[in-house]
Amino acid sequence: MLTKEEVIDLLNPVKDPFLHKTLEETDGIVSVTVKEEKNHVSVKVGISKLNTGEQMQMQQEIVQILKKNGATTVGLRFEQLPDEVIQKYQDTAGDDKKDTILGGSSQPTFIAVASGKGGVGKSTVTVNLAMALKRLGKRVGIIDADIYGFSVPDMMGIEYRPAVRGEKIIPVDRFGVKVISMGFFVEDNSPIIWRGPMLGKMINSFFSEVEWGDLDYLLLDLPPGTGDIAMDVHDLLPSCKEVIVTTPHPSAAFVAARAGQMALKTEHEILGVIENMAYYESKKTGEKEYVFGKGGGEKLAEVLGTKVLGHLPLMQPYEDEDEFAPSVYQQDHPLGQEYHRMASKIVAKIEEAEEV
C-alpha cells in the first residue's frame, strides 16, 4: 500500500509538459489523499496549461506510475499553477492560447451523459440538452463517443461530413451546435470492429485533432456501461461532470447505478439523474400510463447521492417539413420546455460552484 510520502516521491520527477520543470520544482503536487481500505490514491496536480493533449499524456503517465507501484485505483484532478510560477518558468511568452485541447482560449465544462444499459434514450438526452444549452445562449459542442452505436448525426438530421482545414477537422455545425461523431468517418453504416487501443486513439483525436474553437460546454455521449471508452473518458477528463440517464424500470436503474458509481469512484461530479420514458399521457383522456413502472429515477438518485433533474414522458417531436431532425424537440414543445428547465438547473449548479 502506497503512503502519501511515497506518492509524492514517485511524482516529484514528472515534468510539466510546457514548462519542462518537474512537479517538485513547480510545487505542482497540490494534494494527495490515500484511502487504505480501497487502496485508492487521489492526487491534485497543478500544471501550466489545462485541457491539452499534453495534459492527457501526463495524466496517463501519472496513473501508470501509481498503479505500477501498488495503487488499485487513481483519482486525478488538474488545476492551473499560479501566474507567478508560470511566468517564472515559462520558456516562451505569448503562447497562452496555443495547444489547448479544443484549440481555443476558453476552458469548457465537460458533461458526460452516461447510462448503465442501452435503449434508455441517452443519445436523445445528449442532443436535446445540447440544444437547450444553446438556446440559453451557451456555446455548445457534442462528441458522439458511443463509437459502436453512434446515432447523434442521424438524430440531428446531419447529412454532410466535417471539412478539413490544414491538419484540423472542422466539426459539423447543426442548429448552432458543433458535432463530431464516428458516424462521419464510416462508410455505408459499416460495423466498427476496432479493439480498445484503437478506440482510445479515436477518442483522443476527437479532442486534439478537431478545431472546436471557444466553447462553454462540451457534451459527451458515452457508450452504455463501463467499458473501454467510458474508462478512457474518465481517465482523460478528471474534471468532467456527469448526467446519468435511466428509465423508471428498477432493472434499468440498478444497472445505471454502475455507471454512476464509476463516476463517483473517479471523482466525477454527478449533476443529476434524468428519468426518460417516465410515462405516456393519453391525448384523448389526459391520463398518465406508467409503461415502464415508477420510481427508478428516484431510487437511482438516492443511491448516488444526487437529485432527479427531470422526468421525460414518451412523446415525439413536432413534424417539421423545413428542418429534418427526427430527435430534436422544438423550443415550444412540452419536452423542449422540460429540457430547457433541466439545462437551466445544470447551468445554475455549475456556475454556482464556480463562484465558490
What CATH number is attached to the domain comprising 46?
Answer: 3.30.300.130
22's CB contacts (< 8 A; 6+ apart) are 12, 13, 14, 15, 16, 28
Residues 193 and 315 in one domain: yes
Q: What is the pTM of this model?
A: 0.69
Phi/psi of residue 95, each to 5°? -115, 20
pLDDT confidence tier of residue 258, bands split at 50, 70 and 90: confident
Q: Domain containing 80: what range?
A: 4-89
Name beta bridge partners: 31. Answer: 44
Least confident interval from 28-37, 123-132, 197-206, 236-245:
197-206
Instruction: Tell me if 41 sits within 8 A of 76, measured CB to CB.
Output: no
Q: With respect to residue 193, please indicate whether it lies within any of the assigned structural domains.
A: yes
Q: How many domains is the chain partitioned into structurally?
A: 2
| Residue 136: pLDDT over 90 | yes
Residues 142 and 56 in one domain: no
Residues 208 and 240 in one domain: yes
Residues 239 and 351 in one domain: yes
Residues 122 and 66 in one domain: no
Q: With respect to residue 102, please indicate whether it lies within any of the assigned structural domains.
A: no
Of the three residues 89, 119, 146, the one that is the final residue of a domain is 89
Per the model's pLDDT, the better-predicted residue between 202 and 226 turns out to be 202
pLDDT confidence tier of residue 131, bands split at 50, 70 and 90: very high
Residues 11 and 131 in one domain: no
Least confident interval from 160-164, 182-186, 293-297, 311-315:
182-186
Q: With respect to residue 188, please indicate whether it lies within any of the assigned structural domains.
A: yes
| Residue 93: pLDDT over 90 | no
Residues 151 and 212 in one domain: yes
pLDDT at residue 189 in the model: 58
pLDDT at residue 92 in the model: 41
CATH number for position 266 = 3.40.50.300
Residues 67 and 193 in one domain: no
Q: With respect to residue 154, please indicate whether it lies within any of the assigned structural domains.
A: yes
Q: What percent of the chain has pLDDT over 90?
A: 41
Q: With respect to residue 98, please indicate whether it lies within any of the assigned structural domains.
A: no
Residues 178 and 301 in one domain: yes
| Residue 188: pLDDT over 70 | no
pLDDT at residue 99 in the model: 46
Residues 236 and 179 in one domain: yes
The C-alpha cell 455548445 sits at 140
d(CA 296, CA 137): 32
Cell of residue 299, nine digits: 431510487
Q: With respect to residue 177, please indicate whether it lies within any of the assigned structural domains.
A: yes
Residues 145 and 81 in one domain: no
| Residue 234: pLDDT over 70 | no
Of the three residues 89, 123, 156, the one that is the final residue of a domain is 89
Q: DSSP character for 222?
A: P
Q: With respect to residue 304, please indicate whether it lies within any of the assigned structural domains.
A: yes
Mean pLDDT of the chain: 84
| Residue 9: pLDDT over 60 | yes
| Residue 250: pLDDT over 90 | no
Residues 171 and 201 in one domain: yes
Highest mean pLDDT among 33-42, 93-102, 310-319: 310-319
